[in-house]
C-alpha cells in the first residue's frame, strides 16, 4: 500500500477487495477545496467554511461493483496560501483533485501549474482530476467550460464542473477517480516501490521476533 500510513495488504480481506488510496487536494486558496471534501465526506456545506479542519486527513469509502475504494483525503491545511505547500503533502499520492473557481480566471491558471507540478513530482501513475468548482455561480463565470475540458483532454485529466454548495458532481468526481484508479492485486499500489515500511504504532516491544518489520533476515 503506498499511502503514507502503512496498511496491511488489502487483498487479505475476506469479503471482496478493499483498496485504499491517498488523494490530495490542490488549488488556490478559497476555490472550495475543503468544501468539496466536506460535501463528499459529510454531505454538508457551510457558506463560511473555516479554512482548516484540524484533521490529518479525512476518509470516505466508495463502493464500486467488485471493489470498495477507501479514500484517504488530504487537505492542504492552508499551506498553499503563501505558496508553502510541503512536497511531503503529495508524496505517494495515487490521486489528486486540482480545484479552481469557475468565477476566477487566475485560479484556473494556477490549477494548470499544479497539474504540471504533479506531473513532475508525484508518482507517475497518479490519477488527476480537474474540478471547476462553484458551478452554481454560472452567472459570474470567467472560465469557459469547453476550454477547461479541452485542456483536461490534452493532459489526460478527468474533468467535471462541481458545486460543493449544491452537491452537483461532487460524488461523481470521486466516483470517476475511484473507477480510474488501478485496483490490481497489490491492493492499488500505484507507486513503483516495495511494500510499506514499518508501522511504528505497532511496536509495543512485546514481540521481539518483529512481526511488523516484514523483512526477517
Which range binds another protein by CB under 8 A, 89-97, 131-139, 150-158, 174-182?
A: 89-97
The CB-of-145 to another protein minimum distance in angstroms stands at 25
Question: In the set 33, 43, 94, 101, which binds another protein (CB under 8 A)?
Answer: 43
| Three-state helix/strand/coil letters over 67-95 | EEEEEEEECCCCCCCCCCCCHHHHCCCCE
Please spell the DSSP secondary structure of 18-76, one letter per residue: EEEEEEEEEESTTSSHHHHHHHHHHS---TT--S----S-EEEEEE-SSEEEEEEEEP-
Radius of gyration, CA atoms only, the chain: 18
141-149, 152-160, 161-169, 192-200 -> range binding another protein (CB under 8 A): 192-200
Complex with another protein: residue 182 or 203, whichever CB lies closer: 203
Query: Which of 144, 214 has the CB closer to another protein?
Result: 214
| 46 interacts with another protein by CB under 8 A | no
Report residue 74 CA to chain centroid gap.
6
Total site size for another protein, rule CB under 8 A: 67
Q: Give the separation between CA 11 and CA 135, rounded to whole angstroms.
A: 39
Write out the three cell numbers for 209: 521476533
Under rule CB under 8 A, residue 124 binds another protein: no
Residue 212 near another protein by CB under 8 A? yes
Residue 11 · residue 94 · CB < 8 Å: no
12 touches another protein by CB under 8 A: yes
Interface with another protein by CB under 8 A: which residues? 4-8, 10, 12-15, 18, 20, 28-29, 41-44, 52-61, 70, 72, 76-79, 81-84, 86-89, 91-92, 120-121, 193-194, 196-206, 208-210, 212-213, 215-217
Amino acid at each position: 500500500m503506498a499511502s503514507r500510513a502503512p496498511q496491511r495488504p488489502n487483498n487479505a480481506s475476506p469479503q471482496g477487495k478493499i483498496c485504499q488510496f491517498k488523494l490530495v487536494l490542490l488549488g488556490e486558496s478559497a476555490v472550495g477545496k475543503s468544501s468539496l471534501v466536506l460535501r463528499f465526506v459529510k454531505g454538508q456545506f457551510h457558506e463560511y467554511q473555516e479554512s482548516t479542519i484540524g484533521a490529518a486527513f479525512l476518509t470516505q469509502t466508495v463502493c464500486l461493483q467488485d471493489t470498495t475504494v477507501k479514500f484517504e483525503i488530504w487537505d492542504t491545511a492552508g499551506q498553499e496560501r503563501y505558496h508553502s505547500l510541503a512536497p511531503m503533502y503529495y508524496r505517494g499520492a495515487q490521486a489528486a483533485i486540482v480545484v479552481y473557481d469557475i468565477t476566477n480566471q487566475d485560479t484556473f491558471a494556477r490549477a494548470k501549474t499544479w497539474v504540471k507540478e504533479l506531473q513532475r513530482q508525484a508518482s507517475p501513475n497518479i490519477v488527476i482530476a480537474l474540478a471547476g468548482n462553484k458551478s452554481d455561480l454560472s452567472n459570474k463565470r470567467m472560465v469557459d467550460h469547453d476550454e477547461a475540458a479541452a485542456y483536461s483532454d490534452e493532459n489526460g485529466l478527468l474533468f467535471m464542473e462541481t458545486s460543493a454548495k449544491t452537491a452537483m458532481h461532487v460524488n461523481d468526481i470521486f466516483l470517476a477517480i475511484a473507477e480510474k484508479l488501478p485496483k490490481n492485486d497489490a491492493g492499488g499500489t500505484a507507486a513503483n516501490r516495495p511494500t510499506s515500511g514499518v508501522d511504528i504504532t505497532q511496536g509495543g516491544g512485546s514481540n521481539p521476533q518483529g512481526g511488523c518489520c516484514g523483512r526477517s533476515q
